[in-house]
Amino acid sequence: MAVFLSSFVNKVDKKGRVSVPASFRAVLGSDAQGIVVFRSLQQEALDGCSIAHLELLSESLEKLDLAPEMFELIETTIFGGSVQIPFDGEGRIVLPSSLAQTIGITDEVAFVGRRKTFQLWNPQKLTEHDTSARSAARAQDISLSKIIAQASSKIEGGA
Amino acid sequence: MAVFLSSFVNKVDKKGRVSVPASFRAVLGSDAQGIVVFRSLQQEALDGCSIAHLELLSESLEKLDLAPEMFELIETTIFGGSVQIPFDGEGRIVLPSSLAQTIGITDEVAFVGRRKTFQLWNPQKLTEHDTSARSAARAQDISLSKIIAQASSKIEGGA
DNA sequence: TGATTACCCATGAGTGCCCATGGTATCCCA
DNA sequence: TGGGATACCATGGGCACTCATGGGTAATCA
């Protein structure tokens, strides 16, 4: 199925509009009315997803037996802090300036695909994040083919 | 099964198009719509693979219990940093100039088969890398027949 | 009443699609 | 065995379409 891939840097214009990349809109579907955005828990970025995905998170919360503090945190910060933003006719959104300011977005936004969701970053902060992530990968000698091999052997081992 | 073998150096034209070697396209399959490309974690090159291979990596990530930092790294740099590039009618791709620039590709690209995936290099940097890799192999006295023998004894030993 | 939002239209750069060509390797025939 | 024909591959060019960007106006809201 279609997933959010790649990263794009698009401009924010004087009216605060920014184009959601066409490939992300394609993943969202032609009948998508917009997206949902909220502050990321782990990074200095915004998390973005489809409305359906937020509903999935909501259902997941009901099913799991989460600790009350975690439940409360998610209820307040994620659901309380999320905004649903419609597309205009050209596939643009207007980012609430309060959210944009929390992550340092001024005149450009980086959209970063994360398969089921995506993130919105200040492009410079994203570059810094990426650079440090790659340094860590080199230091740990991470290999994608090893990850695939481990996942395969986990299945065969009857794990 | 078919694997990516050999290396080829092809030209990049004024429109940024470059032919994917015919044997690589054959491995990908006649119904392949294109390839996926992302920055290599370990080398100054791009990693290339089929769309199915990226899906395999995606499934592997879901199956393994990776450390959160490693998961985050792969989600952002590999999936966020990958692009799905379609073939044109003649089996060419257009490399995004942002990716091409990170590895110093200007007017030629070296395609290097790595069995299940392949890499894209600046041809000169590939030559330098190969030279230093061969020096390291001689220093470590690497023998291909020893590798085969060790793998065979590992299988028979019921490891 | 002013600011903001929604809706509509326009434009240029880049992309996708299509067609053409030259070179090389392979195959077939004399 | 050599030459010609054919097929395949890499390379080059042109045109239509898409995408991101920009602007204007009317409606809505505070």
Q: What ipTM was predicted for this assembly?
A: 0.88
Residue B8's DSSP bridge partners are: B111
For residue A119, which residues of chain B lie inside 8 Å, CB to CB? 76, 80
Please give the C-alpha separations between residue A156 and each of A150, B35, B61, B65, in angstroms, as whole numbers. 10, 29, 16, 16
**Residue A113 and residue A5 in contact, taking contact as beta carbons nearer than 8 Å:** yes
pLDDT given at position A65 = 86
pLDDT given at position B103 = 92
pLDDT given at position A130 = 92
- Say if residue B2's pLDDT is above 50: yes
CA B120 to chain centre: 7
Side-chain half-sphere exposure of B71, counting CA atoms within 13 A: 12
Q: How does strand B17-19 pair with strand A92-94? A: unpaired
Which nt is closest to the CA of A19, judged by C1'? D20
pLDDT given at position A154 = 79
CB contact under 8 A, B60 and A148: yes
Please write the tens of the pLDDT for every residue from B16-39.
Answer: 999 999 999 999 998 888 999 999
pTM reported for the whole predicted model? 0.91
Buried residues in B75-105 as b, exposed as e (16+ CB within 10 A): bbbbbbbbbebebeeeebbbbeeebbeebeb
Chain A: residue nearest B81 by CA? A6
Alpha-carbon gap, residue B38 to B48, rounded angstroms: 7
Measured in angstroms, the CA of A1 and the nearest CA of chain B are apart by 9
**Residue B83 and residue B70 in contact, taking contact as beta carbons nearer than 8 Å:** no
Q: Within chain A, which residues score under 50 in pLDDT?
A: 159
**Residue B57 and residue A143 in contact, taking contact as beta carbons nearer than 8 Å:** no
Question: Dihedrals φ, ψ of B43, to 5°?
Answer: -120, 165
CB contact under 8 A, A42 and B72: yes
A101 closest CA partner among A82, A122, A80, A117 = A122
Structure confidence at residue B95 as a pLDDT band (50, 70, 90): very high
Measured in angstroms, the CA of B11 and the nearest CA of chain A are apart by 25
Please give the C-alpha separations between residue B112 and each of B4, B6, B51, in angstroms, as whole numbers. 8, 6, 18
B78 closest CA partner among A40, A39, A147 = A147
**Residue B71 and residue B61 in contact, taking contact as beta carbons nearer than 8 Å:** yes
**Residue A93 and residue A17 in contact, taking contact as beta carbons nearer than 8 Å:** yes
